[in-house]
Structure 1
Amino acid sequence: MAQKPSIPKGTRDFNAEEVAKRSYIIETIKTQFQLYGFQPIETPSFENSETLMGKYGDEGDRLIFKILDSGEYFEKVKGNVVDLSKYKEVLENLVETLEDIIQNCKELNDLYYSDFQFLFSEVKKKIISKRLYNDEIIDNVDEFDTLIKKLIDYNVISEYKKVPAYKKRRVQDIINYFYNKKINKHLTSQITSKALRYDLTVPFARYVVQHQNEIEFPFKRYQIQPVWRADRPQKGRFREFYQCDADVVGSKSLFQEVEFVQLYDAVFTALDLKGVTIKINNRKILSGIAEVIGAQDKLIDFTVALDKLDKIGEEKVKEEMRSKDISEEGIAKLQPLFELKGDFGDQVASLKSILGSSEIGLKGIEELEFINTAISNLKLKTAQLQLDVTLARGLNYYTGAIFEVSAPKGVKMGSIGGGGRYDDLTSIFGKPDTSGVGISFGLDRIYLVLDELNLFPATITESTKVLFINFGDKEAMACLQAVSKLRTNGVKAELYPDSAKMKKQMTHADRRNIPYVVLVGEEEINAGLFTLKNMKSGEQDKLSFEAMLEVLK
């Protein structure tokens, strides 16, 4: 039985027309990158897992595609052999706590005591053994893994309502710590040492540190390559897609942010996509707000929830904040944030009243005012700059200004660009105090917007300009000589390869939207002429090569 052809969800094939349109966007962006002084680099499609993991927050880490090692690498961990001796202290704490709870249950004559006792005995028997204490390797991880999962899924702890809550939490914390942080991470790191890149920024930071002795700072680079995310596919969201990034590292000047706003404006103006909104905020302002509401230790939870305001609305955002243990008092202090209105100046005034004396928050406002003043003086061509204090962008590495670009009003589409300032990204690779700022263009979403608004120029999808009809070997040879001369003069020309019926060849040209066909028979060969037919009007003329070239150019 033949296999049904298919591709993975979240990926796509592109036909000739789609490739031409995508190339048009890429070339337009690339032209502006180069005009602004950015240099091209490329990095591998996959990186070492440790390069990517932990750089995007918990949500980002879950979306990273890990690559299963094969060949000799996989042989090294065949059979799930894991050394558990290093987890001896964690296991002992687990057993001690379980014994404590069992004793409580026994005294309470709980109905579940016998089941829980049996389960505990099995776990203890398997993981606390002489082999473990002798620092030997437990080689049957599958059995151990099943027992731990059973303990978690069994959820017997929650059934003991009279057992103190802190003890329940302690046991669950230990189990989760041991199972999720130790076993899974240990196994995963052994068999997936590489991962597909999630974005272009972290690999760029790695590149900068690795090649720092070859780079002249400030270093301006652009990169146009595919990235991969294990996301849920939907309109405008794919698992494989291109990013078009421009970054500057080695400069803390806010003029870099000003120039990136101008770059966004230049690209979208060149694409004739007028009326885009460049939203701007500053992570320092968000840190200041978190400080004011007493949630400094929950900055990531706070910003991730706030970033969803446009998608899920105010009440759902508040619910998510409550679920992250942000106090009602703190959420109440955020209310003015949800109701900010007016122009840039009005919103800044309101923000200052919310932030009070937060030093970091007021620093963020100062930076935004600098950028806004500069753009007001320089003027934008077709885009508009807008302050959006709910803009958070979930990536952990942003530390200053953050950007997000939305399509013109009336187009339902997520962001078509984004970026921001990151002061600490290269420090994770051993190069501290190297500030950077960058932006990205969402190629696939920009494509969908241009397509919806019919903004692609008609000429970009033209392929072959003229098709020569094949009447036989002698005629075909004469045609090929003309085809070669046309190509030399920059005309896209081709010969139909087979000596088929003329109707079939004409139909082929029509279906491919080829605007002209040339007929060369015995008469044309003897006269040194070419019969050129316009496929749209149906008109045809006998022309010299020079006259035909003039029409086709």
Structure 2
Amino acid sequence: MKPSIPKGTRDFSSTEVAKRNYIFSMIKHSFENFGFQPIETPSFENSETLMGKYGEEGDRLIFKILNSGDFLSKVDETILTEKNSQKLTPKISEKALRYDLTVPFARYVVQHQNEITFPFKRYQIQPVWRADRPQKGRFREFYQCDADVVGSTSLWQEVEFVQLYDTVFSKLGLAGTTIKLNNRKILSGIAEVIGAKDKLIDFTVALDKLDKIGKEGVVTEMLSKGITQEAIDKVDPLFNFSGSNAAKLASLETMLQASEEGLKGVEELRFIVKAIDELELTTATLELDVTLARGLNYYTGAIYEVAAPKEVQMGSIGGGGRYDDLTGIFGLKDVSGVGISFGLDRIYLVMEELGLFETVELPKPKVLFLNFNENENLAKVKAIKALRENNIKTELYPDVALSNNQQKKQWKYVTNRDIEYVVTEVVDTKFTVKNMQSGEQYVLSINEIVNLIQ
């Protein structure tokens, strides 16, 4: 059978790993520069931790893990006969791969609340899994890079996250990103003033798809969920909402006069926009987008989504928001949180397409000792040990060359890996060193090689 990997997963070459690590390092450095601390959580959680936290659509995309052993033997015969997957799944699967890093983080906060100093600023860089249909920029296994603050209701945290996005994308040289911003209270307010408050989740999930399925598709979905045509007509201006951020806020204020919650959302957005105008962004643009919902049930305030530069066809490369009651689902009330995520895999694809990886070098030895004489190898290995102790990446070509063709193979290895210094032979305690860039050749002691390279 021909070997393969599951759809929606990927192998990564050494070059790809080096490029991904470059992105990780920029994000990690920025997280720590902003005062965030690292944590990690297990790759799988108890099913009850995850289920019901992402809405109906999210629950369908969670990968379930079958129980160990003969998992069917204890299932009631009636349930097996019914063939109802919703009834059967809880009986045969008690664990699931994590869908994101936010819900496991909320569980972590509740479980470790007595060890944590609040406000708690954490970052987490780990893989997540979703049983989604694979397509460009959408995978079943991918990394998220999250930063969250819990234990503070201050809107300065929202301002800081806009700055954090801008900082990371500036470091990566990714100009032209758009940080889209909305507020869940505004969406609740709109649903209230059009008389569809009981359909808030259906309304926001459909509205969030505007850029994917267009106005006609959104209207069709809303109607199918029981939202009336009259209510949809009232939100028609939202489908073509334009103008400056200040103009949009003024229009929303007028539209939401009858909703106290909606006006509170406008006030919160105005604070963030005003602060960012004063602080100024380096490369990104902040844009209010009232159709932005992100389709997740746990957001209660600000919602973020980052769009890639317009010259690249790609979905969002980051997102997040404020969740005032997420830890409440695990028994810890009144702990507000806000966080954002960077989509590593999509950022990688965007940077690849824009040619932004020119400066990323594949890890390789600085010095290679060729292997033309087995009798010299002990002296060479001792020298390699000394060089490594001086933090100089060094290796010995492992197989001895017994013919001219085998020697050529070693020189080809040098060329293919673009190695800077090559040691060809050793006489007493002196080594013949060749600089592959200049062509110069030296006969040096180990200390002299260290000085030359450092």
Instruction: Please tell me the TM-score bracket, short chain as reference.
Output: over 0.9
Cα distance in 1 between the residues matched to 2:287 and 2:234: 23
Aligned to 1:334: 235
- Amino acid paired to 1:13: D
Q: Determine if contact 2:323/2:338 at 8 Å carries over to the other structure.
A: yes
Aligned residue in 1 for 2:160: 259
CA separation of 1:531 and 1:211: change in aligned 2, threshold 3 A? closer
- Answer yes or no: is the 8 Å Cα contact 1:11–1:240 preserved in 2: yes
Is 1:505 aligned with 2:406?
A: no
Matching residue of 1:481: 382
Q: Percent identity?
A: 64
Q: Specify the code of the residue in structure 1 equivalent to 2:37.
A: Q
Matched, 1:528 2:430: yes
Question: CA contact under 8 A between 2:79 and 2:88: conserved in structure 1?
Answer: no
User: Residue 345 of structure 1 corresponds to which residue in structure 2?
Assistant: 246
* Cα deviation digits, residues 275-314 of structure 1 (max 9, x gap): 2111100010001111111111111111111111111211
Are residues 502 and 540 of structure 1, via their aligned partners in 2, closer, same or farther at CA, if it must alter by over 3 Å? farther
Q: Distance in 1 between matches of 2:378 and 2:170?
A: 47
Q: Distance in 2 between matches of 1:460 and 1:395?
A: 39
Q: Residues of 1 paired with 2:78 and 2:303: CA distance?
A: 49
Task: Kindly state the Cα deviation for residue 550 of structure 1 after the two structures are TM-superposed.
Answer: 4.7
Q: Which runs of structure 2 are paired with 1:401-412 in the superposition (5 Å)?
A: 401-412=302-313
Q: Which residue of the partner structure matches residue 517 of structure 1? A: 422
Q: Deviations over 1:221-251 (max 9, x none)?
A: 1111111000011111110111111111111
Residue in structure 1 matched with residue 13 of structure 2 by the alignment? 15
Larger Rg: 1
- Would you say the 8 A contact 1:478–1:525 is kept in 2? no
2:114 match: secondary structure: helix
Give 1:527 shift: 7.5
Q: 1:541 aligns with which of 418, 441, 445?
A: 441
Is the 2:61–2:132 contact (alpha carbons within 8 Å) kept by the matching residues of 1? yes
Question: Structure 1 residue 465: deviation in Å?
Answer: 2.0
What is the CA distance between 1:517 and its match in structure 2? 2.3
Counterpart code for 2:430: G
Whole-angstrom CA distance in 2 between matches of 1:29 and 1:145:
49
- Higher strand share goes to which structure? 2
**Structure 1 residues 502, 250: CA separation in 2 closer, same or farther (over 3 Å shift)?**
same
CA distances 1:112-151 after superposition (whole Å, capped 9, x unpaired):
xxxxxxxxxxxxxxxxxxxxxxxxxxx3544x426xxxxx
Amino acid at match of 2:373: G
Within 5 Å, which residues of 2 pair with 1:374-385? 374-385=275-286
From 77, 80, 88, give the equivalent of 2:75. Answer: 80
Tell me how far 1:526 sits from its aligned partner: 4.4
Within 5 A, what are the aligned runs for 1:232-311?
Answer: 232-311=133-212
Give the aligned partner of residue 451 of structure 1.
352
Report the alpha carbon displacement of residue 327 of structure 1 after superposing the two structures with TM: 1.0
Alpha-carbon shift at residue 485 of structure 1 (Å): 2.3
Deviation readout 1:176-208 (Å, 9 max, x if unpaired): xxxxxxx54342111101000000000011111
In the TM superposition, residue 45 of structure 1 has moved relative to its aligned partner by 0.7
Match of 1:386 among 284, 287, 290: 287
Residues 212, 328 of structure 1: alpha-carbon distance in 2 compared, 3 angstrom cutoff: same
| 8 Å contact from structure 1 (residues 336, 354) kept in 2 | no
Deviations 1:334-355 (CA, angstroms, capped at 9, x unpaired): 1111121111011112212222
Rounded Cα–Cα distance in structure 1 between residues aligned with 2:449 and 2:310: 46
| Pairwise CA distance, 1:552 | 3.5
Return the letter of the residue paired with 2:129. Answer: W
Residue 213 of structure 1 and its aligned partner are, at CA, apart by 1.1
**How many Å apart are 1:458 and its aligned residue?**
2.8
**Distance across 2 between alignment mates of 1:347 and 1:8:** 45
Give the deviation of 1:320 after TM superposition. Answer: 1.3
Per-residue deviation, 1:257: 0.4
Aligned to 1:47: 45
- Which has the larger helix fraction? 1
Partner Cα distance (1:326, 1:190) in 2: 36
Q: Is the Cα–Cα contact under 8 Å of residues 75 and 91 in structure 2 kept in the other structure?
A: no
Aligned to 1:67: 65
Q: Counterpart amino acid of 1:542?
A: Y
| Superposition map of 1:113-128 within 5 A | none
Q: Following the alignment from structure 1 to structure 2, what is the Cα–Cα distance between the partners of residues 512 and 15?
A: 14
Q: Aligned partners of 1:408 and 1:62: how far apart in 2?
A: 31
CA contact (8 A) 2:26 2:171 kept: yes
Quick one: distance in 1 between partners of 2:249 and 2:407? 71
Query: 8 Å contact 2:423–2:431 — kept in the other structure?
Result: no
Give the alignment's Cα RMSD to 1 decimal.
1.7
Single out whichever of 237-246 and 272-281 deviates more from structure 2: 272-281
User: What SS does the corresponding residue of 1:313 show, helix, strand or coil?
Assistant: helix
2:24 to 23, 26, 30: 26
TM-score where L is the length of structure 2: 0.95
**Which whole-Å CA distance do the structure 1 matches of 2:396 and 2:365 have between them?**
10
Q: May I ask how many residue pairs the two structures share in their alignment?
A: 449
Residue 231 of structure 1 is matched in structure 2 by 132
- 1:57-79 deviations in whole A, cap 9, x for unaligned? 000000000000012xx45x416
SS for the counterpart of 2:296 is coil
Q: CA 1:547/1:455 → structure 2, altered by over 3 Å: closer, same or farther?
A: farther
Counterpart position of 1:133: none
Contact 1:532 1:548 in 2 (8 A): no
What CA distance in whole angstroms lies between the structure 2 residues aligned with 1:187 and 1:232? 23
- TM-score, with length taken from structure 1: 0.78
Residue type of the alignment partner of 1:333: K
Whole-angstrom CA distance in 1 between matches of 2:429 and 2:127 = 54
Match of 1:321 in 2: 222
Q: How far 1:482 moved relative to its partner?
A: 2.5
**Counterpart secondary structure, 2:316:** coil
Distance in 1 between the 2:176 and 2:452 partners? 38
Aligned CA distance change for structure 1 residues 265 and 502 (closer, same or farther; 3 Å)? same
